[in-house]
Structure 1
Amino acid sequence: MQDVLILGAGIVGIATGIHLLKRGRSVTLIDKNQPGRETSYGNAGIIQREGVRPHPFPRDLTTLMQVGLHLSTAARYEPLALPRIAPPLLKYWWASSPEHYRQVVQSYAPLIGRSIETHEALIKEVGPEAEKLISKDGWYLVFRTAEKLQREAAKAEGDREKFNIHHEVVDWAGLKALEPDLIGGLVGGIHWTDPWTVRDPGALVASYFALFQKLGGTFVSGEADGLTQSGDMWQTRIGGTLHSAKQAVVALGPWAPEVLDRLGYRLPLFVKRGYHMHYKPQPGAKLDHLLLDAEIGYVLAPMAQGIRLTTGAEFALRDAAPTPVQISKAEAAAKEVFPLGERVDPQPWKGARPCTPDMMPIISKAPKHEGLFVGVGHAHHGFTLGPATGELLAQMMTGQKTAIDVNPFRMGRFLHG
């Protein structure tokens, strides 16, 4: 018998396990897949200290028309999924109103503020294996029109004053000096100087998992057959073996409803799917810094596997067949900016970001059960917020004062009756 069972071995589950082990708890981590190989692996590799503004639902008519007519690269929807996802999307649209969104940002900013600090602590403990994966040079939000660059620069200046986030505005000449192999099509960009980038997110999460094991954590490979409470114990069965613990954590990302629904927690979670593909550069070309093409909606990131192109959001059912239309659109747009060469991967990678309608994760004790905790719904910032979430959950579970106010992330905000 262990002190804690954690369902889900992504970055949230692994980080939670590490923080519990460091507080003297025994932990069993359970996942049907190799640790850190889902969304924790396939992201753009940014620890987004600047990301105090989660992605709102678009409310301007031009963007809505582009998405509705499947003209947008940044976002698309699968028509057959609309009946299932429309209710949470309507709540998402409502929470994105200016008044509600201001409240979201105020609540979200302290959590993002823990991102670098909590990653840094784990990286230092892992040592050179993790440190070699990290760049502390920030990343570049680049623009094709001066008007949109100026508008975003004004917003960035406001965030500097409100949230102590730092940036520099660079023109086309500055971008070209930084990345001599850029072709053109850009007027400049915003250099976010606080964030860190990671050249292999999957390898970093694997190093965190190795730390989890070094600290004495146990990993069980297999699919949990639900989660049940028996007296004051939580139990799950893996391949015929019963595993029990005093506390349990659900950190299953987009698979969380399969466990939580049975326990009476029907949360309005939905997924934004995303894709990536790796490329070789054209002969003689090189990309040294991560670029996000703000007006098109894709990322080019130098990775260990090649130049990773990541897409925006696809609103679809979690397990529906891949529809990597955005990869082709983003690839064509990226080739206007940088000389991408041939594809490296045989097919695009696909992942699913677990999202909540109010854009904030659930980091919480389950209100109707003793000993049950939940860490899901991080949307675009799961990789960024995994260690911070793990820290907060471990503090809650061991009766410590939390590093920040966790009330905005309580599970009960979605439960009625």
Structure 2
Amino acid sequence: MQVDVDGDISADAAVLGAGIVGVSVALHLAKRGLSVALIDRRGAGEETSFGNAGLIQREGVYPYGFPHDFGALLRYGLNRTIDASYHPSALPRLAPFLFRYWRHSRPSRHAAIARQYATLIEHCVDEHRGLAAEAGAQALMKPDGWIKAFRTERERDARFAEAEGWRREFGLNYRALDAAAMQASEPYLTPGLVGGLHWTDPLSVVDPQALTLAYVALFERLGGRFVQGNAASLARDGQGWTLRTAAGRISARSAVIALGPWADTLTNSLGYDLPLAVKRGYHMHYRAAGAAKLNHPVLDVERGYFLAPMRRGIRLTTGAEFALRDAPKTPIQLARAEPIARDFFPLAERLEPEPWVGARPCTPDMMPIIGPAPRHRDLWFAFGHAHHGLTLGPVTGRLVAEMMCGEAPFVDPAPFKADRF
């Protein structure tokens, strides 16, 4: 990377967005010897990558779909659940996206999407482990998987059957826990649970932002540079791209848009009409009461919230809030979940004054947009990962870097191209 007498920076590539996806793209490019500037308006990992459930979901071959059974649609329509909520005022703008999302979630279409999506998911653990080893961040990852806890035999048996099907088709590993085994695995959970489904392949991350920052530190050791700046200033300049930052003007041969839920603000200005929306989510940390300990991340399946043991405490996360990206906080789901979670596991006081809220960038077919921009040379897209940004960050980073450097991609990128829309 070169800096001229005026302080302007020249690089091979500028990566816009320093969440886990953008950081992973920048890191993989730097590993290939390119000079790379990583740009974000804030610090690295301070937006969506800050507040997730901390799972690297090897089992997540089926991206989260829109329900098709009448009972679930009725429950969500009443807008009183923990796992899904919506802003009525946002529905007119969200309706076209939601309709397309619903159509792609039909069982046959969802199954076809899963077979394509699994080609990314199957690499997530290995790719994270490789980067974490280079970054010295292995201690941030726990190889113990995560658990779905069941209150009813009907739900338990249905999920066991589903898991067995996925094991046969996708090679996933799990343990079916009866009530006694569930109690032994998590002795501080409420008695009366009828069992659990323990996915054993995934990793859990005890501090997702710390992992992102560890990857940034490795990126910088390889010669990369993190700079604060606003991606909206990106402009074509001859054969390359320029943008203004706090460190001066950056000129780069290639640019990568990895802006997560803000990607469409830039792609729209460049003439693309990509069907992007957001699912917002909330979290809060709690002290575990007394000597209570949570050994695994746990989903309370029938109630629709998630508890994860983190460095900061026990993190309670909510499901999806369908709202406009920049709408004011409405942590209704968190308020609904907290008293139920306190009965489920002994939580003590809140550890933050306000809930955190973040936005997950979503496409209607539930798959990310990865690959070259259809109408601009040397412009690349890497966004739309929905619930699996942390899971797929390093996989996406490697795939984009291989395409940009003319290498044979280790995953077929065709299903994830922008022009599929």
Local SS of the residue matching 1:286: coil
Aligned ranges 1:6-45 → 2 under 5 Å: 6-45=15-54
Cα RMSD for the two superposed structures? 1.1
Deviations 1:338-377 (A, max 9, x none): 1111111111000000000000000110010110000000
Equivalent of 2:69, from 60, 73, 80? 60
The answer to whether the aligner puts 1:352 opposite 2:359 as a matched pair is yes
Q: 2:221 matched to 1:214?
A: yes
Contact 1:39 1:353 in 2 (8 A): yes
CA–CA distance in 2 between the matches of 1:385 and 1:404?
Answer: 12
> Which of 112, 116, 128 is equivalent to 1:119?
128
Q: Please tell me the residue identity of whatever aligns with 1:16.
A: V
CA contact (8 A) 1:186 1:337 kept: no
- What amino acid is aligned across from residue 74 of structure 1 in structure 2? D
Other-structure match for 1:151 = 158
2:232, 2:124 → 1: CA distance? Answer: 33
Q: Kindly report which structure 2 residues correspond to 1:317-396, keeping only aligned pairs within 5 A, or say none.
A: 317-396=324-403
Map 1:269-280 to 2 at 5 A.
269-280=276-287
CA contact (8 A) 1:185 1:337 kept: no
1:239–1:225: structure 2 CA closer, same or farther, 3 Å change rule?
farther
SS in 2 for 1:220: strand
Asked if residue 194 in structure 1 is aligned to residue 198 in structure 2, the reply is no
What TM-score do the two structures reach when normalised by structure 1?
0.97
Q: CA distance change for structure 1 residues 317 and 302 in 2, over 3 Å: closer, same or farther? A: same
**Matched AA of 1:73:** I
Post-superposition offset of 1:240: 8.7
Report which stretch shifted further, 331-340 or 367-376: 331-340
Residue of structure 1 in register with 2:266 after alignment: 259
User: How far did residue 124 of structure 1 move?
Assistant: 0.7
- Secondary structure of the equivalent of 1:82? helix
The one of 221, 235, 238 aligned to 2:242: 235
**Which secondary structure does the structure 1 equivalent of 2:102 belong to?**
helix
Whether 1:164 aligns to 2:167 is: no
Identify unmatched segments of 5+ residues in structure 1: none
CA distance in 2, matches of 1:239, 1:405: 37
> Is 2:412 the counterpart of 1:408?
no
Deviation per residue, 1:138-167 (Å, 9 max, x gap): 110111111111111111001111111000
Per the normalisation by structure 2, the TM-score is 0.96
**Equivalent residue in structure 2 for 1:138, among 131, 137, 145:** 145
Q: Which runs of 5+ in 2 are unaligned?
A: 1-9
1:138–1:195 CA contact under 8 A, matched in 2? yes
* SS of corresponding position for 2:343: coil
Whether the 8 Å contact between 1:226 and 1:259 is mirrored in structure 2 is: no
Residue 99 of structure 1 pairs with residue 102 of structure 2: no
Percent identity between the aligned chains? Answer: 53
Q: Any idea what SS the aligned residue of 1:367 has?
A: coil
TM-superposed deviation, 1:126? 1.1
The alignment partner of 1:400 has SS state of coil
Q: What's the secondary structure of 2:37's corresponding residue?
A: strand
Question: Aligned partners of 2:387 and 2:97: how far apart in 1?
Answer: 17
CA distance in 2, matches of 1:240, 1:14: 19
Size of the aligned set, in residue pairs, is 412
| CA distance in 2: counterparts of 1:194 and 1:288, whole angstroms | 16
- Decide whether the 8 Å contact of 2:181 with 2:195 is kept in 1: yes
CA distance in 2, matches of 1:410, 1:222: 27
Cα contact 1:184–1:336 (8 A) shared by 2: no
Query: 1:185, CA displacement in angstroms?
Result: 4.2
CA distance in 2, matches of 1:364, 1:92: 22
Q: Find 2:295's aligned residue among 281, 288, 291.
A: 288
The aligned amino acid for 1:89 is L
